Chain A
């Protein structure tokens, strides 16, 4: 992790963030190009490739999970903040630290379960399209949850540190 900013949530210049943004851009670009090419080929040339549909759906899976990882670096996950909004600013910040710690623990547990899931699939699983083994497509789960666990932990750490200093 290369977060350097004070609150640990926004360091837009860091290399890791740029890599994530770049991959997102490539995935979405591929999604648009593949989908449009499929329409063109089918309606004008009467050709359709069977692998395109599963490929686009996996692109969406990867792009959205990666988007969720980015959301955790920007603290933009959807929360039920009805109660949180009624608290005083200081209690709000302390509550957020607790919430982030819970989130980090659950994500870490998920990352571990996801690793086991991928290992299982590697033993039994086949392939969905273009002979790509299914388990490779599923590696997005452990990667993203591991990343999110670290981000939530970092966010809690920075927030707590700022709170103690204040």
Chain B
């Protein structure tokens, strides 16, 4: 076994020079197995296990849906629809911006796609409505990862696979905490927008807007109903969603042509491929860690120092927030979950609840200075200096942290939907 200081030092060094993460993890696995004189082909025995995980099939398919939606005019139609429905409400534009971001992110995952797809559309709209600029910037930055707790978000599926809990349990558990996050931010939006003039009567009538956007709005309903009804498995729901989105965007709205499809598939698979590479690498490394009983020893150490469930949860939150703003969500999930899961069970944290805590933390970490990914994506997309975004996202982060406390310390919020 290689001493931990050596592995840590090497990881940090490689990360500093920007080595792709999967390479770092594979290098760690190779060195660890080699130092124990294990035949290195074990790496591929472990990687080939990917072909034994049925839930993984859902990931490329749902991601493809997200990319298809983002490339079509779906966002425009949803904006028109919510303008027609929420125009009368003070802060209506802010509320609808939040809802659209949450809806899109559930499908596109934490890839920054949401900010890229709707940032250019919603930011000018918010400005025109005379929302304070700082408010608009903060809203779009933080909502880049809002919606990760809603089905069928990819991080939820990955957590379910890594922690070996049913995907649909996680899909159920995320809804209430996710809604609470959207609701609290929406209330803040209403508060900020309370003195602003109401939206001008929208160009299109509610009826037309509803007809235009109804097909896309129906997608989450179809997915969720399909899975919960028991007729189809999660991966099958994903395949049907692709077929449905293709039908809507290619035949009904005619916004995506056959010629565009290979490019969209390629972009989807670049994202999925880089996620799977990390999952493959981490599967190999985790099997080494488990074989050498690292989680067990970690547990012994922690049990000796932390004596209450409350203290454990507080430290878990602090740790995960730091992880969330340092590294991306997918790597965090595959590496950290196997280490934390057995510890959490000792402190009687339900694995599904732990998943929701995990994702809520990582979601917030994405917008947390100094290195949260959302801040950089928003800075590039909206062309504002990063320091301005730090300040802009602060009130939103405080609200989300408040919700995080509720999510963490009220397990029923996540677990009441389970049997």
Contact = CB atoms under 8 A, between A and B. Distances in A.
B347 to A, nearest CB: 28
A4 B23 CA distance: 26
B20 A64 contact: no
Given A32-B61, A66-B269, A80-B327, A99 B240 contact: no
Interface in A91-134: 92, 95-96, 98-100, 102-103, 106-107, 109-110, 113-114, 116-117, 120, 128
A120 B371 CA distance: 45
A17 to B, nearest CB: 9
A39 B18 contact: no
Contact of B60 (A31, A43, A107, A116): A31
B327 to A, nearest CB: 5
B340 interface: no
Contacts of A114: 44
B402 interface: no
A113 B44 contact: yes
B282 to A, nearest CB: 12
B378 to A, nearest CB: 15
A60 B60 contact: yes
Contacts of B391: none
Contact of A113 (B40, B59, B371): B40
Secondary structure call for the B interface: helix
B163 to A, nearest CB: 20
A100 B18 CA distance: 8
Contacts of B270: 67, 70-71, 74, 76
A82 B327 contact: yes
Contacts of B51: 54, 57-58, 60-61, 128, 137
Given A32-B61, A76-B274, A24 B269 contact: yes
Interface string B320-350: 0000001110110000000000000000000
6 contacts: A32-B239, A35-B235, A63-B272, A113-B41, A113-B44, A137-B51
Nearest to A76: B270
A77 B64 CA distance: 18
**Range, interface on chain A:** 35 or more
B19 interface: yes
Given A35-B57, A35-B61, A106-B30, A25 B274 contact: no
B53 interface: yes
Interface stretch (B121-129, B139-147, B258-266): B258-266
B135 interface: no
Contacts of B18: 79, 81, 84, 92, 95-96, 99
B243 A83 contact: no
Given A35-B236, A64-B273, 4 more contacts: A56-B235, A66-B269, A103-B19, A106-B23
Interface stretch (B9-17, B217-225, B352-360, B405-413): B9-17
